[in-house]
C-alpha cells in the first residue's frame, strides 16, 4: 500500500528504530511513545485490521511481542509490567490503519490509564452473547 507509513517502514523506505526484523513481522520504536521503550510490532504484509490478518502472522506478532516484553524487563528501561494493546478500527482508537501491536513498558508510578466503567451483567445475557459468537466462529 503506497500511502501506508508502516508499509513504507516494512519495505525499508521509511525511517524507523528497528528492534526486530523478521521475514513476516518486524518491531520498531513508537514515534510517539506512551512510555520509554514503547515498541510496535507489525506484519510486513499490509492488513488494515484484524479481519484481513493471516492468523499465523497474528501468532507470530504475539510471539515477537512476548520476546520484546522479556527484553524490556531485562533492559535499562524502567519496566515493572507490560501492556500489549491492539486497536482494531477507528472506534477502538486505531490511528494508523495497518495492524500493529503495542508493547508498552509500565511502571508502578506512571500516569498511564485505561479507564472504563464496568457493570455486572446477568449470566443469561452473557450466555446469549456467547452462544451467538460461538455460532459465528
Q: Which of 38, 98, 100, 102 is catalytic?
A: 100
Q: DSSP string of the chain?
A: -TT-HHHHHHTT-S---EEEE-SSEEEEE-SS-SSTT-EEEEESS--SSGGGS-HHHHHHHHHHHHHHHHHHHHSSS--SEEEEE---SGGGT--SSS--EEEEEE-TT-------------HHHHHHHHHHHHHH-
The fold of the 5-110 domain, in CATH, is HIT family, subunit A (3.30.428)
**Residue spans per domain, the chain:** 5-110
Kindly list the averaged pLDDT for each block of 10 residues, start to end, along the chain of length 137: 90 97 98 97 97 97 98 97 97 97 97 86 94 95
The pLDDT score that the predictor gives to residue 109 is 94
Q: What are phi and psi of 88, to 5 degrees?
A: -115, 95
Active site residue 100: yes
Amino acid at each position: 500500500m503506497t500511502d501506508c507509513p508502516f508499509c513504507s517502514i516494512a519495505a525499508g523506505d521509511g525511517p524507523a528504530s528497528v528492534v526486530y526484523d523478521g521475514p513476516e513481522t518486524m518491531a520498531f520504536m513508537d514515534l510517539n511513545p506512551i512510555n520509554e521503550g514503547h515498541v510496535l510490532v507489525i506484519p510486513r504484509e499490509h492488513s488494515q485490521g484484524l479481519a484481513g490478518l493471516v492468523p499465523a502472522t497474528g501468532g507470530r506478532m504475539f510471539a515477537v511481542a512476548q520476546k520484546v516484553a522479556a527484553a524490556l524487563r531485562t533492559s535499562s528501561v524502567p519496566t515493572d509490567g507490560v501492556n500489549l494493546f491492539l486497536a482494531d478500527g477507528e472506534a477502538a482508537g486505531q490511528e494508523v490503519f495497518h495492524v500493529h501491536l503495542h508493547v508498552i513498558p509500565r511502571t508502578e508510578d506512571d500516569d498511564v490509564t485505561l479507564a472504563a466503567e464496568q457493570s455486572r451483567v446477568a449470566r443469561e445475557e452473557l450466555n446469549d452473547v456467547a452462544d451467538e459468537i460461538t455460532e459465528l466462529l
